[in-house]
Structure 1
Amino acid sequence: MSFKNFNYVGKSKIFFIFSIVITVLGLVFLLMRGLNYGVDFRSGSNVDISFKQQLTSEQVQPVLNEIGIGEDASITEGTDRINIRFSDVLSEDQDSKLRSAVQKLDPSATFEVNTVDPEMAKELGRNAIYAVLLSCIGIIIYVSIRFEWRFALAAIVALLHDAFVVVSIFSILGLEVDLTFIIAVLTIIGYSINDTIVIFDRIRENLRFAKIKRRSDLVELVNKSLSQTIGRSIYTALSVFIAALFMLILGGESIRMFSLAICIGLLIGAYSSIFIASPLWLVLKGKNVSNKPQKAVKPNKDKIEI
């Protein structure tokens, strides 16, 4: 089976159901568990400790208890670093005691402390939501002007689908959500709309020269348009995915969640552009086209042949 002969529209119900299941599952996890917000979106202090000697949470936890901040600490171990998150902002005295106590375990330990107060956390959260909403509104306006409202509606549903699936996966896996995650979501939206626009442009181009008399003609047109652009969509997504994958494997801890979100979003974006956006446009457009097969023209029996 080749991509050119694949019936994308005929399988659209399967893909719609698959996406709905993922969306419902993600919604359940978001309501039950929520998101694992980083220090950017909730007040507190985030301490990254890099070391040469191997330190474990079992070694660090008693030190925190001695200082009196152990109950408020959440420790995550890495290969050569430890991350400690505090829901309250550390005072200068607590910060100084923490540095002195850890350096007794490893004198070469280096610290990176990020602190966000409650007001700043709320402001960052609001700005992140505004950024996503404004980008979606801008895309709706752009697609509506360049194409038509059906294309715009299909595109924005696909974009929201991409963003929500990435958020859901982070919720299910309990991965940390910070500002780099929001940047990743906006990047995913950009790649996804670019891929969707290429497919929509081909559909519109083929629509100019097609004679659409019934829905089956429209189905054939969409399948033809997808087969003409799917190679480009896959190769573009794959090339960027490989770069993001190496960033995930070889990059530092600070960009790991960003790289992971990009990898997931690229795959979901390519999937939605092909299997969600275009079939959804067909559903909207098909309401104006008859589903009945064209009647065959009966020969005129009264015609006299000479």
Structure 2
Amino acid sequence: MSKLGDLGARLHRGEVGYDFIGNRRIWYGISILITITAIVALAVRGLNMGIEFQGGAVFTTPKTDVSVSQAQHYAEMASGHDALVQQLGSGSLRIQVGGLDTEKSDQVRAELAKDLNVPETKIAAEIVGPSWGDQIATKAWTGLAVFMILVVIYLAIAFEWRMAVAALIALIHDLTITVGIYSLVGFEVTVGTVIGLLTILGYSLYDTVVVFDSLKEQTKGITKQTRWTYSDVANRSINSTLVRSINTTVVALLPVAGLLFIGGGFLGAGMLNDISLSLFVGLAAGAYSSIFIATPLVADLKEREPAMQALRKRVMAKRAAAAAKGESLDDLADDAADLGAEPAVVGQRGRRGRTERRG
């Protein structure tokens, strides 16, 4: 077995683990800092909206020896607006200029034909109105709202409302960070970006649901024992699924990283950046939030319940008694066992400990 596989097995059995819940204030602080940075970036820099949302013209030239930087300079001089130039695989250029109407686009095409030394009839011009982008944005917002409502309803039924609230907060956290990164990097927001943002919604919830399912199974009958608090079991649930979350996230990030850094960066296929950046940031943020945000939030909400507060008092009293006698928790019988009830089983470690006592 590999070292990573052995570590995963030990984490699942509860032999080793990291106190994610105990350090939750650190993770909350980091997330708040990142979220504030994203919001400030959006307020100060805004988003670099693509031509689909602001309207304008797209010019496609035949093969030319003019460089991308020169073509961008020519387009900006002819139009008086900022231009985005991308080199296509055939050696032709795709020039986007925002804020142009039909009459102005004809003038710009004539100027580009003269500057690029190509026939004007060989330059294809396409006018894009901002209303089309508005329709796409409206449908995207509608889809996002419907998705969140359905997710909250499903999680509240399948698990409980506290988990639904925590998952919703984690999802908003992931979307805010992703949009903030777009603002900081300055990548153009296109229809591909919207598709990427909608795609990461499911990925952001995947690891969260896995941890929640483990937590739900391990907390059945938790109030019948006095060895573990709800936060203890939540921490064990994170550790038992940690390696699985890391493996699935890395496998998902590798092809997206290839699109972003190799296709978009090294090979210069800028159109790949539109969707790959949103996928890359969203996948990473989703894995982070499922471990450091969603589950600690559930633990905080559950610990406010009277039953869980009473359980914590019993657990703390039992641990204090064990420490005073110099004994381990395995040497003390559960209250449920003392009363003749069937002891609750919480995690693998609880089963192993009781088997040894019976022997």
Q: Shorter-chain-normalised TM-score: which range?
A: 0.7 to 0.9
Q: Where do 1:91-170 residues align within 5 Å?
A: 91=103, 93-94=106-107, 96-97=109-110, 100-101=113-114, 103-104=116-117, 115-170=127-182
Gap change, CA 1:119 and 1:220, over 3 Å in 2:
same
Q: Gapped runs of 5+ residues in structure 2?
A: 1-6, 12-16, 323-359
Q: Is 1:223 aligned to residue 235 of structure 2?
A: yes
TM-score where L is the length of structure 1: 0.84
Q: Give the partner amino acid of 1:250.
A: G
Give the Cα–Cα distance (whole angstroms) in 2 for the partners of residues 142 and 97 of structure 1.
57
Aligned length: 294
Question: Corresponding residue for 1:271?
Answer: 288
Tell me, which stretches of 5 or more residues in structure 1 are unaligned? Answer: 298-306
Contact 2:71 2:85 in 1 (8 A): no
The separation in 1 between residues aligned to 2:291 and 2:123, in whole angstroms, is 46
Q: Please name the residue that 1:281 is paired with.
A: 298
More helix by share: 2
Letter in 1 for 2:80: E
- Equivalent-residue separation in structure 1 for 2:200 and 2:75 (angstroms): 42
The residue correspondences of 1:153-192 to structure 2 (distance < 5 A) are 153-192=165-204
Cα 1:193–1:215 change in 2 (3 A) is: farther
- TM-score w.r.t. structure 2 length? 0.72
Matched, 1:29 2:53: no
Return the offset for 1:60.
Answer: 5.2
Q: Could you give the per-residue CA deviations for residues 152-202 of structure 1, whole angstroms, max 9, x where no partner exists?
A: 000010011001100001111221111111111111111111211111000
The within-5 A match list for 1:3-82 is 4=11, 5-47=17-59, 51=63, 53-58=65-70, 61-62=73-74, 65=77, 69-76=78-85, 81=93
Q: CA deviation at 1:221?
A: 0.3
How large is the Cα RMSD of the aligned pairs? 3.1
For 1:118 and 1:58, locate their aligned partners in 2 and report how far apart those are by CA, in whole Å.
27
Letter in 1 for 2:69: S
In the alignment, residue 274 of structure 2 is paired with which amino acid? M
Post-superposition Cα deviations, 1:10-48, rounded to whole Å, max 9, x if no partner, equal 121111100101111111111122111111222222445
SS at match of 1:40: helix
Q: For 1:208, what is the secondary structure of its paired residue? A: coil
In 1: Cα distance, 2:108 partner to 2:71 partner: 18
1:294 equivalent to 2:317? Answer yes
Identical aligned pairs, as a percentage?
30
Deviations 1:204-263 (A, max 9, x none): 010115346789611110111111111111111110100111122236332222112111
Following the alignment from structure 1 to structure 2, what is the Cα–Cα distance between the partners of residues 112 and 13?
56
Q: Conserved in 1, the CA contact under 8 Å of 2:249 and 2:283? A: yes
Cα distance in 2, alignment partners of residues 49 and 239 from structure 1 = 39
Please state how far the C-alpha of 1:101 moved relative to its aligned partner: 2.9
Structure with higher Rg: it is 2
Match of 1:258 in 2: 275
